[in-house]
A and B are shown apart, each in its own frame.
Chain A
Amino acid sequence: DSGVTQTPKHLITATGQRVTLRCSPRSGDLSVYWYQQSLDQGLQFLIQYYNGEERAKGNILERFSAQQFPDLHSELNLSSLELGDSALYFCASSDDRGLKDGYTFGSGTRLTVV
């Protein structure tokens, strides 16, 4: 157990639908990162939050949004889903900048859009 908890582990949904992926960071970590892993694009950074505030944005579609709550857990919302959104979504957490123990990844949520 890495200490980063992602739920659900698997999700199957239809095109056009909306889903929410949840991430609880490792105890003490203030930064949360979301990554998308697809076969053609590899591991792509989506967004980072630090202590509740958005810190960096990557190639995140406008249909996707995220937030980090006061208890530091984070949610990634994916809407108007398309077949191409099928991927493995990882959450990672770190102390600031991954100085102490690097970045710890959750086991991922596998999203299948049918």
Chain B
Amino acid sequence: AQKVTQAQTEISVVEKEDVTLDCVYETRDTTYYLFWYKQPPSGELVFLIRRNSFDEQNEISGRYSWNFQKSTSSFNFTITASQVVDSAVYFCALSPLTGANSKLTFGKGITLSVRP
């Protein structure tokens, strides 16, 4: 069985602060994908990143960066110099890399509020 835990439920920061969203996962699969999705107030789910379990290199995309640590089963997401437009619910998700079942297992999500 797969499980994704996002222990933080709500985070509030002031604009320009850095913020890290935590994600811890459990899986018996030896190969898997990890994802982050953003859900703004408008409701759609926006794909942010996918990493596979082979690749533990950290990734940076503009103000966003991701830290994948297989040893601690964590895939944390940092927003640098946060902006009001970053206010959204952020979901971490997991899927197997092999096998017939490729469904995503989501965490409960973290509500991020960025105040001006």
CB atoms of B97 and A58 under 8 A apart: no
B35, B101, B109: the one contacting A55 at CB < 8 Å is: B101
Q: Which residues of A contact B95 (CB under 8 A)?
A: 97-98
Bound CA–CA A102/B100 (angstroms): 16
CB atoms of A107 and B44 under 8 A apart: yes
Q: Which residues of B contact A101 (CB under 8 A)?
A: 47
B25 located at the interface, meaning its Cβ lies under 8 Å from any Cβ of chain A in the complex: no
State how many angstroms separate the Cβ of B55 from the closest Cβ of chain A. Answer: 14
State how many angstroms separate the Cβ of A35 from the closest Cβ of chain B. Answer: 8
Bound CA–CA A54/B46 (angstroms): 25
CB atoms of B102 and A97 under 8 A apart: yes
In the assembled complex, 27 residue pairs joining A and B whose CB atoms fall closer than 8 Å, in A order, are A2-B44, A31-B102, A33-B104, A42-B106, A43-B106, A45-B103, A45-B105, A48-B102, A48-B103, A55-B101, A55-B102, A56-B100, A88-B43, A90-B45, A92-B45, A92-B104, A97-B97, A97-B102, A101-B47, A102-B50, A103-B47, A103-B104, A105-B37, A105-B44, A105-B45, A107-B43, A107-B44
Query: B: which residues have CB within 8 A of A?
Result: 33, 35, 37, 43-45, 47, 50, 91, 95, 97, 100-109
